[in-house]
Copies of this chain bind each other. A is one copy, B any other.
Amino acid sequence: MMRTQPEGQRAKPSLRSPWRLALHEVIFEADTPAGKGFDVILIISILASVIAVMLDSIANVRFAYGGLLYRIEWFFTLLFTIEYLMRIVCVGRPLHYAISFYGIVDLLAIIPTYLSLILPGSQFLLVIRILRILRIFRILKLVPYLKEAHLLLKALKASGRKIAVFLYTVLTLVVIFGSLMYVIEGEINGFTSIPRSIYWAIVTLTTVGYGDISPQTNIGQSVASIVMILGYAIIAVPTGIVTVEMSHSFNTPISTQACPECSAEGHDTDARYCKFCGAAL
- Measuring CB to CB, which residues of chain A are less than 8 angstroms from any residue of chain B? 50, 53-54, 57-59, 121-122, 124-125, 127-128, 130-131, 133, 144-145, 148-149, 151-152, 155-156, 161-167, 170, 172, 175-176, 178-180, 182-183, 186-187, 192-199, 202-212, 214, 218, 221-222, 224-225, 228-229, 231-233, 235-248, 250-251, 267-268, 270-280
For A128, the chain B residues whose CB sits under 8 A away are 176, 179
Q: Contact: B165 with A148, CB < 8 Å?
A: yes
Closest beta carbon of chain B to A225's beta carbon, Å: 5
In angstroms, Cα B274 to Cα A215, docked, is 58
Copies in the complex: 4
Q: Contact: A235 with B229, CB < 8 Å?
A: no
Q: Who on chain B is nearest to A127 by CB?
A: B179
Q: Contact: B235 with A232, CB < 8 Å?
A: yes
Identify 13 residue pairs between A and B in the complex whose beta-carbon atoms are under 8 Å apart, listed by A's number. A57-B193, A57-B195, A58-B194, A125-B183, A170-B229, A206-B207, A206-B232, A209-B210, A209-B211, A236-B243, A244-B247, A268-B275, A273-B276
For A170, the chain B residues whose CB sits under 8 A away are 229, 232
Q: Contact: B161 with A148, CB < 8 Å?
A: yes
Further contacts, 15 of them, CB under 8 A, given A270-B275, A278-B280: A53-B179, A53-B194, A54-B194, A59-B192, A125-B179, A148-B162, A166-B233, A205-B232, A206-B229, A233-B238, A235-B235, A240-B242, A240-B245, A270-B276, A278-B279
Q: Who on chain B is nearest to A199 by CB?
A: B221
For A209, the chain B residues whose CB sits under 8 A away are 203, 207-211
In angstroms, Cα B180 to Cα A244, docked, is 34
Also in contact, A127 and B176, with CB within 8 A (given A58-B195, A193-B59, A195-B54): yes
In angstroms, Cα B198 to Cα A186, docked, is 23
* 6 smallest beta-carbon distances between A and B, as pairs: A273-B278, A208-B209, A210-B211, A271-B275, A206-B232, A57-B194
For A208, the chain B residues whose CB sits under 8 A away are 204, 207-209, 228, 231-232
Q: Contact: B233 with A124, CB < 8 Å?
A: no
In angstroms, Cα B250 to Cα A162, docked, is 11
For A218, the chain B residues whose CB sits under 8 A away are 195
In angstroms, Cα B164 to Cα A57, docked, is 28
For A199, the chain B residues whose CB sits under 8 A away are 221-222, 224-225
Q: Contact: A225 with B237, CB < 8 Å?
A: no
For A124, the chain B residues whose CB sits under 8 A away are 179, 182-183, 194
Closest beta carbon of chain B to A146's beta carbon, Å: 9
